[in-house]
């Protein structure tokens, strides 16, 4: 990362290109009522903070331009949903300058951890310092919608080795089609490995599709974790996400001790208001695929505490 401006060389774009990143929508201002009571100590393991851009500008190389989604707005959502802990996941649109994410962690009174984004210029010393500042993992987001579509394997292999030494996890966001090329290498990893957003599975292909079979096989391994997040990103019918339900149920049945949940607030890269989820609806979907207090205690409290080594 270039220390002079906070961006790596690959993130630099001309001002013309920067202006042309299309504007996307912000989140719904208020959540719908939640049908259950969040357990004490509930975690949101996947949210982002965007801006404010007068302090934390977006990367020049990005696929969309959202409105500011500052920490204060997220804290209000936490209170309304009954969430107590969180993992602030650094978004691609802020590039590899993690300042906005660390600012949120620093202002959280110990309630937040960070999952960071790094580039090829990262050093072990820098990653060690990131851990000191509250980092619990490193994310590689390469699904075509938000990233390049391809995993930088040279960077991945190097960072994974460091994460093993530093007791960090690795977090992956990819399209389900990538599983064919990824599954074997992911199965051999020796550190906690988190997959985002139901692996962006294609709900139209049904639970018997090869990609989902591969995913369930991965989920039988003790180091593979799933974020039951982003139901709105894979549904074809919208809330209450009935087409996502059989996939969520199968994952919970396969690995109830390695499923975690998050809001994915503020729901980046959405351009059609009809596609924008309501955070209350997403929480209520959790109560459908995890219908008992015992399951919700696992997914919302026990599992994230164990994964992130928190008490």
pLDDT tens track for 101-146: 999 999 999 999 999 999 999 999 999 999 999 999 999 999 877 6
What pLDDT was estimated at residue 2?
Answer: 37
Which residue segments constitute the domains of the chain, with CATH numbers given?
Answer: 9-307 (3.20.20.140)
Burial of 16 (0-12, 13-18, 19+ CB in 10 A): exposed
Coil, strand or helix at 24:
coil
What residues act catalytically?
264
What pLDDT was estimated at residue 230?
Answer: 98
Contact 94, 58 (CB under 8 A): yes
Contact 46, 263 (CB under 8 A): yes
User: In sequence order, which ranges of the chain are alpha helices (DSSP H)?
Assistant: 15-19, 71-81, 99-106, 124-132, 153-166, 179-187, 210-219, 231-234, 245-254, 279-289, 293-297, 303-307
Beta bridge mates, 139 = 171
Contact 160, 189 (CB under 8 A): yes
What pLDDT was estimated at residue 149?
Answer: 76
What pLDDT was estimated at residue 145?
Answer: 75
Weakly modelled stretches of the chain, pLDDT under 70? 1-19, 146-148, 311
């Amino acid at each position: 990362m270039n220390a002079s401006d906070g961006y790596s060389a690959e993130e630099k774009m001309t001002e013309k290109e920067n202006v042309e990143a299309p504007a996307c929508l912000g989140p719904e201002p208020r959540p719908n009522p939640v049908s259950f009571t969040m357990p004490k100590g509930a975690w949101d393991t996947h949210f982002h903070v965007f801006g404010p851009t007068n302090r934390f500008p977006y990367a020049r190389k990005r696929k969309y331009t959202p409105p500011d989604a500052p920490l204060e707005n997220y804290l209000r959502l936490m209170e309304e949903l009954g969430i107590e802990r969180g993992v602030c996941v650094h978004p691609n649109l802020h590039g590899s300058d993690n300042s906005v994410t660390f600012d949120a962690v620093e202002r959280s009174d110990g309630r937040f951890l960070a999952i960071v984004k790094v580039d090829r210029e990262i050093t072990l010393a820098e990653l060690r310092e990131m851990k000191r500042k509250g980092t619990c993992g490193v994310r590689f987001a390469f699904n075509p919608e938000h990233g390049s579509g391809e995993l930088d394997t040279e960077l991945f292999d190097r960072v994974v080795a460091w994460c093993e030494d530093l007791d960090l996890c690795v977090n992956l966001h990819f399209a389900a089609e990538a599983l064919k090329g990824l599954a074997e290498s992911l199965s051999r990893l020796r550190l906690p490995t988190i997959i985002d957003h139901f692996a962006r599975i294609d709900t139209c292909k049904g639970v018997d599709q090869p990609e989902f079979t591969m995913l369930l096989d991965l989920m039988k391994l003790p180091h593979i974790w799933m974020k039951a997040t982003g139901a709105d990103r894979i549904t074809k019918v919208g809330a209450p996400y009935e087409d996502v339900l059989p996939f969520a149920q199968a994952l919970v049945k396969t690995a109830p001790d390695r499923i975690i949940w998050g809001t994915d607030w503020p729901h980046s890269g959405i351009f059609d208001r009809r596609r924008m989820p309501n955070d209350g609806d997403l929480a209520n979907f959790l109560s459908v695929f995890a219908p008992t207090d015992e399951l919700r205690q696992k997914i919302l409290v026990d599992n994230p505490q164990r994964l992130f080594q928190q008490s």
